[in-house]
Structure 1
Amino acid sequence: MNYLNLFLAAGILAGIGCYAMTYYISKLISPLYRSLMVGGAAVMLLLASIALIGGWDGIPFGFMAIGIGIVSVLLALTIRFPFIKRIGLVLLAGWAGLLLVTPLLAGETNYWVLDKQGTDGYTDSSLSSEYDALQRNASVRGYSIHTISEGNPAIVLSLGEVMKGSNLEVVNVENENNRTTITVRSFANGSSEANPTIMIGLNELKEEIIVTDTDGTRYPKLD
C-alpha cells in the first residue's frame, strides 16, 4: 500500500474529528458553517504543507489536507440530507479505518535502519566490511542482500559517488503478494561519505525485491 494512503485516511478521520469539535464549540452553528470550518482546516493544512514544510516532507500533510477536504465536501453536499450525511460519515470513517489497518492485516514488513558504525549491536562484521568496501569503491550503485547476526535479512543500498554529499532515509517498506518494495528518499545534507549508503534490517524479504527512490529511481541489484 502506498504510504500516502495512510495520510489520506488520517486526514479523513481528522476531518470527522474537526466536524465533531464544532458541536463541542457550539450546537447552534449551522450545517453550512460547520462544513466551512472543516474546509478551512483543510485549506490551512494544505497551505502549511506547501509554504511552511514544502518539498517531499510536505506531501504527506497535503494528502491529510485532501482527506479533511473530502469530509468538508461531503458535509456541504448533504446539508439538506442529514440521514445521508450520517451514512456518508460512517462509510468514510470505515473506509479510512480499513486503509489504516490493512497494512497490519497484510503483514506489512517491519524494518529498522542499521547503524553503519555498529554501535547499536545490529551491524555485524560482514556488514561493516561491506560498508568499508563501498566507501573505497565509491562508483558502486545499487543494493545487495545480506543476513545479519540475528538471522534477519538486510539490504545495503549505495547511491554511488555521483550522489556524494547526500543522505538516505527509508520512506516505506511493504510486502504485497510475493514482492517486497522498499522506498527510500535521497536528499542533500552535506554528508561526508564518499559513497552514500544505508543499511536496512527487515523481518523478512519476499522473492521479488524492488528498491526505489521517491523520485522514481529504481536501484539495481548488485552481483
Structure 2
Amino acid sequence: MRSRWIWLFVIMLLLAGCQSSYWVLEKERIGESSSELELYANYLQTHDDVKGYQGFTILEGRKMVIVSLGSSEKDKKLEVSGVKYSPKETIVTVKRKPAPKANEKNPYILIGLDKIEGGLIVQDESGNRFEETDDQQ
C-alpha cells in the first residue's frame, strides 16, 4: 500500500515538472491582455520592416514577447518550438512555417511566459538569434 502512495507522489512530481511555462496568445484576443500589446501589434503592421522581438510585462508580473519576421517573410508564420530556463538565461526557440494565406504585412507571434530568468534570448531552430527591437509605437 505504501509503495502505491510513493509512486503516486513520484508521478505527481513528474507531471508538475512537465507543465508548460509558456503559452501563445491568439491574435484575436490581444485586446484582452494589454492595450500596449495591441498598439505594438498594430505598429508592426504599419512598420513592416521591423524584425526582432519586444518584451512586455502583463498581468500579475507575467511576460509577453512579441516576435516579428518583417515583410521579407510575409509568407511565413511562427510557432514556438520550446522554452528553456537556466539561472543565466531564458531561451525561446521559434520555427518558421509556411503560412496558408499571407494576411499580415509583418507576421508576428505573441508568446506569454510565466517568468524570465536571467537574460532573454529569442532564436530560431537553427540558432539564429532575433535582436531586441528598440522600435516603440
Gapped regions of structure 2 (runs ≥ 5)? 1-13
Q: Which amino acid aligns with 1:197?
A: Y
Larger proportion of helix? 1
**What is the TM-score with the length of structure 1 in the denominator?**
0.49
How many angstroms apart in 2 are the aligned matches of 1:138 and 1:114? 21
* RMSD between superposed Cα atoms in Å: 2.2
Q: Structure 1: which 4+ aligned runs deviate by more than 2 Å? A: none
Q: Map residues 1-223 of structure 1 onto 2, 5 A cutoff.
A: 104=17, 110-118=21-29, 121=32, 123-189=33-99, 190-223=101-134
Q: Which amino acid aligns with 1:126?
A: E
- What percent of counterpart residues are identical? 34
Residues 144-203 of structure 1: per-residue CA shift (max 9 Å, x gap) = 110123431110110111101110100101101221000001111233110010011110
SS in 2 for 1:186: strand
Paired letter, 2:120: I
**Cα offsets for 1:43-102 (capped at 9, x unmatched):** xxxxxxxxxxxxxxxxxxxxxxxxxxxxxxxxxxxxxxxxxxxxxxxxxxxxxxxxxx5x
Structure whose CA Rg is larger: 1
Query: Would you say how many aligned residue pairs link Structure 1 and Structure 2?
Result: 119
CA contact (8 A) 1:164 1:193 kept: yes
* SS state at 1:135 partner: helix
Per-residue deviation, 1:216: 2.9
Cα 1:153–1:119 change in 2 (3 A) is closer
Bigger fraction of residues in strand: 2
Q: How far apart are 1:109 and its partner, in Å?
A: 6.2
The alignment partner of 2:37 has SS state of: helix
In the aligned structure 2, how far is the partner of 1:197 from the partner of 1:166?
A: 9
3-state SS of 1:211 partner: strand
Work out whether residues 180 and 206 of structure 1, in 8 Å CA contact, stay in contact via their aligned partners in 2.
Answer: yes
AA matched with 2:94: V
Residues 119 and 211 of structure 1, relative CA distance in 2, 3 Å threshold: closer
Distance of aligned partners of 1:173 and 1:184 in 2 relative to their CA distance in 1, 3 Å threshold: same
For the 8 Å contact 1:116–1:131, the answer to whether it is kept is no
TM-score between both structures, scaled by the size of structure 2: 0.78
Going from structure 1 to structure 2, the CA distance change for 1:109 and 1:209 (only over 3 Å counts) comes to farther
